[in-house]
């Protein structure tokens, strides 16, 4: 008997040392997330798990127990929950095996930290709540799973009970005794420490995963470079801004991956320790110019050793464009204000200075003055309306039913007179409804504006055609020209305020960049329609819009409130 015991104790001792080795070599969590350059291995986790599985089997063997169950305390649920690995219990049953941490033998052992031995589970009041009948338990031992933290002199400085360990049903109809309790208590220490390590390891892995996901989903470009000028991390925003399609960039040299000498130099200087100011860089992914601010910081560990250099790139393209547009708007608006004023001033002075003009001549001068005043008023109206839309107010629609054909004819006729160079005409389909519901003046404004642009941006002349037809319960109108056209990347932007295509042809054509912004508002908000443009540079453009024939006035009003 003593020989047996000695042999057993020796085996336990061997096991313990095996475990100790296992713990340090594989199950110990790293003190900090692994270097981002070497993706963390999951192997240690699996190693830890299989060590635990082997240990559970050995416990079953040593104690001659039919079943071994580990229960872990789930703080959120306030329950002790059976977790794998187990011995002699099907996983489905294991999943059901749980108890409140205040109940049953499990709860009692968990709370008191003292082991319990029971011999007749079905009739033992203490085990009633433990669902032992689920596992057909007759007798058993329950010991606490304790993890101890020790200081350098191996004194216990902290003890935490993380769960309980059960050994159920002694084989061959035998019963457990106090000796078994002591053995199980001893082995529970190892189980506890492996679980604690695994738990810690999982937390570290999860934390790292969380960090990486955050890093990846941030809309700011982030790059982490190693001291060897290799990419340790590069999030999707950063890959996107350089037009890098693969995410296989880790560990590669910055010079092979980042297609911008400016940025590479910034990173290189950063890695080499020179202080870096925030600077601006321009990159051209897919040939489109974009502007970024770039700033960086050295990354060091606690001992001050360099881990690399981290860089943030913020997209300021829109801001830059807006700044540029605002200054060109000021130039344009001044020009647009000055031109009619110069004419008004010139003709008024002429009329005042000289009494010799005939009645006819005076009339002609005065009508020019009137036209220029109208032009000024239009410009000021555009500015006021833009400000009104900007501040969320509507342009006060005034809805009525009006004759569509007449309206289209009138606008085309007025514009025809505006230019001798262009052939302005309408092509109206017979299927057009006689009347539509809308804001008549604003409809006029939409069409006049589009026709004005068609003429303005066709410096060589050509046809300017208004097409109109019915499509279901909507009308669709196209304004076609054979002018300078619009580059593809500007097609959606021309409807933004202040946006003007800044090309050679356009520079001589003055405007404020507000017309289409207002037109879009008048089509989409006032008439609940839709506007878009199709165009080819050098060939011409089609501005197209559609709106309902029978506009639901209540709906439109509600939309504009």
What track of x and - describes contact with ligand ADP for positions 450 through 479 (by CB under 6 A)? Answer: ---xx--x----------------------
Of positions 506, 525, 532, 560, contacts ligand ADP by CB under 6 A: 506
Residues 543/478, Cβ–Cβ less than 8 Å: yes
**Cβ closer to ligand ADP: 310 or 479?**
479
Q: Does 397 bind ligand ADP (CB under 6 A)?
A: no
Of positions 541, 546, 548, 551, contacts ligand ADP by CB under 6 A: 541
Residues 426/410, Cβ–Cβ less than 8 Å: no
**Cβ closer to ligand ADP: 85 or 485?**
485
Of positions 170, 239, 290, 500, contacts ligand ADP by CB under 6 A: 500
Instruction: Provide the sign of the torsion angle of the four alpha carbons 85, 86, 88, 89, taken in this order.
Output: negative
Shortest distance (Å) from residue 391 CB to ligand ADP: 19
**Cβ closer to ligand ADP: 239 or 499?**
499
Residues 229/249, Cβ–Cβ less than 8 Å: no
Binding segment for ligand ADP among 222-230, 261-269, 389-397, 513-521 (CB under 6 A)? 513-521
Q: How far apart are CA 447 and CA 527, in angstroms?
A: 13
Place of tokens 């003007």: 500
Q: Does 190 bind ligand ADP (CB under 6 A)?
A: no
Q: How far apart are CA 83 and CA 87, in angstroms?
A: 11
Pick out residues in 402-461 that bind ligand ADP (CB under 6 A). Answer: 453-454, 457
Q: How far apart are CA 34 and CA 28, in angstroms?
A: 13
Return the DSSP state at 41: P
Task: Show the tokens assigned to 252.
Answer: 């590669």
Shortest distance (Å) from residue 459 CB to ligand ADP: 10
Q: Does 483 bind ligand ADP (CB under 6 A)?
A: yes
Of positions 196, 446, 486, 549, contacts ligand ADP by CB under 6 A: 486
Task: Show the tokens assigned to 334.
Answer: 């001044």
**Cβ closer to ligand ADP: 220 or 327?**
327
| Partner residues linked to 535 by β-bridges | 541
- Determine the size of the site formed for ligand ADP (CB under 6 A): 21
371: left (phi over 0), alpha (psi -120 to 50) or beta: alpha
Pairing of strands 462-471, 422-428: parallel
**Cβ closer to ligand ADP: 299 or 414?**
414
**Cβ closer to ligand ADP: 227 or 462?**
462
Task: Show the tokens assigned to 538.
Answer: 């050098």
**Cβ closer to ligand ADP: 437 or 519?**
519
In 191-332, DSSP assigns E strands to 221-225, 231-234, 279-283, 290-300, 306-315
Radius of gyration of the chain (CA): 41
**Cβ closer to ligand ADP: 260 or 386?**
386
Chain residues in the site for ligand ADP (CB under 6 A): 453-454, 457, 481, 483-486, 494, 499-501, 506, 511-517, 541
């Amino acid at each position: 008997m003593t020989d047996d015991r000695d042999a057993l104790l020796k085996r336990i001792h061997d096991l313990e040392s095996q475990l100790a080795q296992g713990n340090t070599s594989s199950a110990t969590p790293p003190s900090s997330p692994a270097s981002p350059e070497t993706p963390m291995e999951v192997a240690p986790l699996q190693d830890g798990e299989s060590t635990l599985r082997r240990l559970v089997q050995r416990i079953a063997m040593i104690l001659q127990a039919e079943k071994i169950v580990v229960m872990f305390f789930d703080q959120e649920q306030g329950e002790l929950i059976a977790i794998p690995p187990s011995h002699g219990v099907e996983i489905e049953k294991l999943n059901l095996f749980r108890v409140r941490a205040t109940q049953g033998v499990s709860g009692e052992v968990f709370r008191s930290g003292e082991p319990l031995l029971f011999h007749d589970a079905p009739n033992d009041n203490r085990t009633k709540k433990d669902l032992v009948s689920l596992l057909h338990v007759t007798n058993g031992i329950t010991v606490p799973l304790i993890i101890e933290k020790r200081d350098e002199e191996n004194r216990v400085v902290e003890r935490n009970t993380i769960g309980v360990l059960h050994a159920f049903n002694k084989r061959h109809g035998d019963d457990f005794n106090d000796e078994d309790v002591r053995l199980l208590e001893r082995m529970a220490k190892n189980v506890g420490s492996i679980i604690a390590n695994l738990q810690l390891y999982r937390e570290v892995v999860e934390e790292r995963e969380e960090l990486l996901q955050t890093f990846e989903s941030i809309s700011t470009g982030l790059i982490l470079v190693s001291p060897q000028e290799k990419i340790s991390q590069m999030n999707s925003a950063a890959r996107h801004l350089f037009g890098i399609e693969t995410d296989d960039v880790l560990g590669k040299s910055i010079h092979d991956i980042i297609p911008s000498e400016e940025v590479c130099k910034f990173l290189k200087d950063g890695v080499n320790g020179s202080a870096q100011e925030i600077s601006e860089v321009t990159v051209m992914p897919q040939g489109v110019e974009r502007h970024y601010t770039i700033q960086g910081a050295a990354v060091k560990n606690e001992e001050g050793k360099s881990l690399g250099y981290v860089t943030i790139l913020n997209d300021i393209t829109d801001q830059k464009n807006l700044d540029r547009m605002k200054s060109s708007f000021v130039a344009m608006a001044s020009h647009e204000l000055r031109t009619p004023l110069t004419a008004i001033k010139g003709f008024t002075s002429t009329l005042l200075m000289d009494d010799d003009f005939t009645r006819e001549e005076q009339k002609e001068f005065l009508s020019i003055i009137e036209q220029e005043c109208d032009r000024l008023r239009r410009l000021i109206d555009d500015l006021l309306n833009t400000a009104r839309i900007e501040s969320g107010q509507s342009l006060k629609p005034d809805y009525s039913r009006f004759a569509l054909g007449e309206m289209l004819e009138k606008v085309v006729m007025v514009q025809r007179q505006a230019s001798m160079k262009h052939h302005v005409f309408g092509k109206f389909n017979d299927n057009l409804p006689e009347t539509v519901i809308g804001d008549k003046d604003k409809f006029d404004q939409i069409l006049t504006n589009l026709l004005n642009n068609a003429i303005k941006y066709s410096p060589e002349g050509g046809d300017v055609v208004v097409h109109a037809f019915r499509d279901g319960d909507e009308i669709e109108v196209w304004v076609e020209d054979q002018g300078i056209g619009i580059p593809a990347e500007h097609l959606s932007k021309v409807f933004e305020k202040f946006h003007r295509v800044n090309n050679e042809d356009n520079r001589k054509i003055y405007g404020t960049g507000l017309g289409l912004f207002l037109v879009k508002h008048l089509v989409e908000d006032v008439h609940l329609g839709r506007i878009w443009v199709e165009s080819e540079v050098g060939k011409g453009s089609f501005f197209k819009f559609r709106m309902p024939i029978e506009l639901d006035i209540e709906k439109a009003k509600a939309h504009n409130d």
